[in-house]
Amino acid sequence: MLKLATISALVTASLFAGGSGEGGTDILERSVNFAIFVAILYYLIAEPLRKFLSDRTLMIESEFKRNEAKLAESIQAKEKMKEELISAKRRAGMIIADAKKEAELIKNKIEDNGKNELVMLEKQQEELIIIQDKKMVHSVVAEVMQEVLKGEVALDSRSLSNLLVRKVS
């Protein structure tokens, strides 16, 4: 109500400020009219302007707080990622160490199997040589016996032993 009374008083004062002076300047009346205009303008615009500026300040402040919260979250996420990276590096090192140990065990197992196979092959070769020797002796004896039975060789022990030595060598 007070504002309405102030506005009406200012409006009536501005009407009377027109003046009716002759040959004089109307600077005083114009100054009063300008002051009234500024007062009315202030009365009409001041509150919405304050509200707009206050809202704008609150909006900027809330945006700033939101940005600070996002920054804090980003910093936390960065720290968490650093910890995960360190953990991953540790796990990778452990995996590499385990893989090296496993490779060494496999290598040793393969070497042992190879050595065992070599030993078995050597034994088989020795047995094969023994068998071949027996077969050769058997064939030589059979050949000599056939010659003896045919009558080509005399039966004395000396000639029989010479014949066997010749056939074996």
How many C-beta atoms lie closer than 10 Å to residue 140's C-beta?
16
Q: If residue 169 lies in a helix (H) or strand (E), which one and from where to where?
A: none
Q: From the first residue on, what is the mean pLDDT of each consecutive set of 10 residues in the chain (169 residues)? A: 60 56 76 93 90 95 96 96 96 95 95 94 93 86 75 63 69
Q: Any idea how long the chain is?
A: 169
Separation between Cα atoms, residue 115 and residue 75, nearest integer Å: 60
Rounded to whole angstroms, the Cα distance separating 102 from 115 reads: 20
Instruction: Give the predicted TM-score (pTM) of the model.
Output: 0.43
CA distance 165 to 159: 10
- What pLDDT is stored for residue 143 in this prediction? 79
